[in-house]
Amino acid sequence: MNGIEIENISKSYGATLALDALTFTVQPGERFGLLGPDGAGKSTLFKILTTLLIPDTGRASVAGWDVNKDFATIRRHIGYMPGRFSLYPDLSVAENLNFFATIFGTKVKANYELIRPIYEQIEPFSKRRAGALSGGMKQKLALCCALIHQPKVLFLDEPTTGVDAVSRDEFWVMLGELKKAGITILVSTPYMDEAARCERVALLQTGKILALDTPANVVNAFNQPLWAVRADNYYQLLLDLRQASFTERAEVFGEFIHLTTHTGTDRESIVAYAQSGGHGNIVVEPAKASIEDVFLALM
């Protein structure tokens, strides 16, 4: 039983409610994503689950142990990668890894197999001080340090923040590999496009869950007509579309404007409306909702 159970957890800081009666379960061996912006309560939840913080109300268990009562046991069996780079910059790569192995009462050798695929990538730099590593390598080292004692549950708080796209991609591939070792992973990210890398996701906003399901199901639940629209004068088109009677919502979405319309609106009427506004090079296509569309609709 390596899952996580969260039942009615609330936590406030003064007048600010950081977590509002949160309830959900992470299955053993699952790669579960917490999606939400800064201030959604992701870090607070991580601190409660890693026994660093006591919730105001509710109970939670990690791998079957209660976060309040059995905190000492939990601390032996979890790996935690906090939001910021939290290793010793003045220690070398190898020294950091050895230190974390020793304080968990183990040896790097004993668990090398688990971290080998990751550590091999940074091994050429094992004598380099951690502070002098690139963002992506720091992140790999931090993951190695969090894994070195073979934890049952791994908590990764915004591991991909501040890391370039290549390293982010590699990181998610590594998390996929860990699945084989049966480690439960709870990972948080503010980047909506990373949702697809998780088996299930929870969309978190101001301490509440907006949606919780597999990424595919979350997106499929979006059942309004959605269009990708653009024209030469992008910004003016956005302002114009917001005035249209068929518009539910018009949001900038990169190159296109994502236009949510009332059911029954067809492509032609949108094109006609844009033409009447004097826009040129009008493109209107049906669009497939993304996690971000869902998030915007639920907020």
Partner 1 sequence: MQSYLAFVRKEFYHILRDTRTLVILFGMPIAQVLIFGYAVTNEFRDAPVAVIDNARDELSRELVHELVSSGYFKLVDQPATADELDALFRAGEVKLGVFIPPDFESDFFRRKQTTLQFLADGSDPNYATTLLNYGSQIVGNFQQRHAGGPENYQVGVEMQLMYNPELISAYNFIPGVVAIILLLISAMMTSLTIAKEKEMGTMDLLLVSPLSPLTIILGKVTPYVLLSMSNALLILLLGYFVFDVPVLGSFWLLTGFCLLYVLTALSLGILISTKASSQQAAMMGSLFSLLMPSMLLSGFIFPITSMPWMLQKVSGVIPATYFIELLKGVMLKGLGMQYLWFPTLVLATMTVVLLSLSWFNFKIRTK
Partner 2 sequence: MNVITATNLTKTFGNFTAVDAISFAVKRGEVFGFLGANGAGKTTAIKMLIGLSKPSGGSTTVAGFDLTTQSEKIKERIGYMSQKFSLYEDLSVRQNINFYGGVYGLSRKTIRSQTARILDEVELQANANDKVGSLPLGWKQRLSFAVASVHDPDIVFLDEPTGGVDPATRRQFWEMIYAAAAGGRTIFVTTHYMDEAEYCDRISIMVAGKIAALGTPGELKQQYQANSMGEVFLRLVR
By CB under 8 A, residue 88 contacts partner 1: yes
By CB under 8 A, residue 67 contacts partner 1: no
Angstrom distance (rounded) from CA 226 to CA 220:
12
- Which residue among 10, 28, 39, 282 contacts partner 2 (CB under 8 A)? 39
How big is the site for partner 2, counted in residues (CB under 8 A)? 35
How big is the site for partner 1, counted in residues (CB under 8 A)? 31
Binding partner of 288, given partner 1, partner 2, none, CB within 5-8 angstroms per partner class: none
Q: Tell me the closest approach of the beta carbon of residue 253 to partner 2, in angstroms.
A: 8
| Residues 146-165 contacting partner 2, CB under 8 A | 161-165
- Which residue among 245, 255, 268, 280 contacts partner 2 (CB under 8 A)? 255
Q: Tell me the closest approach of the beta carbon of residue 238 to partner 2, in angstroms.
A: 7
> Amino acid identity of 165?
A
| Residues 108-137 contacting partner 1, CB under 8 A | none
> Amino acid identity of 107?
K
**Based on the number of CB atoms within 10 Å of its own CB, is 155 exposed (0-12), middle (13-18) or buried (19 or more)?**
buried
Neighbouring C-alpha atoms within 13 Å toward the C-beta of 222: 22
Using the contact rule CB under 8 A, the part of the chain among 1-9, 78-86, 203-211, 258-266 near partner 1 is 78-86
Angstrom distance (rounded) from CA 99 to CA 265:
62
- Which residue among 4, 9, 87, 186 contacts partner 1 (CB under 8 A)? 87
DSSP state of 245: T
C-alpha dihedral over 245, 249, 253, 258, to 10 degrees?
A: -50
Per DSSP, what are the bridge partners of residue 62?
4, 65
By CB under 8 A, residue 276 contacts partner 1: no
Cβ pair 25, 51 in contact under 8 A: no
Give the position of tokens 């790669």: 31
**Based on the number of CB atoms within 10 Å of its own CB, is 218 exposed (0-12), middle (13-18) or buried (19 or more)?**
buried
Report the residue number, 16 or 102, with the smaller CB distance to partner 2.
Answer: 16
- Which residue among 98, 121, 161, 233 contacts partner 1 (CB under 8 A)? 98
Tokens of 190: 């503010």
Sign of CA dihedral 287, 288, 291, 295: positive
- Which residue among 58, 64, 135, 277 contacts partner 2 (CB under 8 A)? 135
* Angle at alpha carbon of residue 61, lines to 58 and 62, rounded to 5°: 145
By CB under 8 A, residue 54 contacts partner 1: yes
- Which residue among 7, 169, 199, 213 contacts partner 2 (CB under 8 A)? 169
Residues engaged in binding partner 1 (CB under 8 A) = 47, 50-54, 71-72, 75-76, 78, 80, 82-91, 95, 98-100, 102-105, 145
Residues engaged in binding partner 2 (CB under 8 A): 36-40, 134-136, 161-167, 169, 190-193, 205, 233-236, 238, 251-255, 292, 295-296, 299
